[in-house]
Structure 1
């Protein structure tokens, strides 16, 4: 496969990864904010289940010391394209600046675990509902 296509696929994965992070963070903000604003969609069972599933995977990976498969796949594609590190396109530069920052592992484990606990707490504080259709 052409190196340019490998880099495009890597950027697509980076965008997907960023969207998942935004889904988890903004989803929790929407759940609590929506509760106070009376938004019924924040109680949608499938939205809430997918939200809980994504953060659960993140927390589990952090506890096990496993790198996110999206990160691994993206780095593999960049490596196959002959790109070292995080140099490259505009999209890549800015999204990686947001997603990847340096801190000790324990910081990430703590942050992910606390955030996961907040998402779990949201199940009890803002109960999801199955549709009656």
Structure 2
């Protein structure tokens, strides 16, 4: 693979990764803020994707596994001849936004706590299926 293409794909994966992080974090915030204002925060498909993604993230942390997006990005950076997290503008700034240098147990604790919050949101702000929404 061409090193330039590998670097571009690594940047694209990083952008996707940041988008997923934003979806999980801002989605949880939106659920609590918009529970009485925004009908979309109770959408069943959206909520099931949100809770399953967060449970998967917490499970990966408990198993000590890296996110597949991180693995793919790192492999592409090596193929591009780049040091991890140090070459392009996009990669430089976005990686600092979502990657932190901390002991592994802090990530397990943080992901587990956030997964508990997302699961709790399922019960405190329950999703509705389409026919449930028409009953209101």
Q: TM-score, normalised by structure 1?
A: 0.96
Secondary structure at the residue paired with 1:67? coil
CA deviations on 1:70-92 (whole Å, 9 max, x unpaired) are 00000000001111221111110
- Give the corresponding residue for 1:103: 102
Report deviation, 1:39.
Answer: 1.0
Spell out the pairing of 1:19-38 with structure 2 (5 A cutoff): 19-36=19-36, 38=37
Aligned to 1:79: 78
1:55 Cα offset (Å): 0.5
Q: Which runs of 4+ in 1 moved over 2 A?
A: none
Aligned length: 132
Provide the rounded CA distance (Å) in 2 between the counterparts of 1:53 and 1:61.
Answer: 12
The CA distance in 1 between the partners of 2:58 and 2:84, in whole Å, is 25
Structure 1, gaps ≥5 residues long: none
Unaligned 5+ residue runs, structure 2?
A: none
Structure 2 equivalent of residue 130 of structure 1: 129
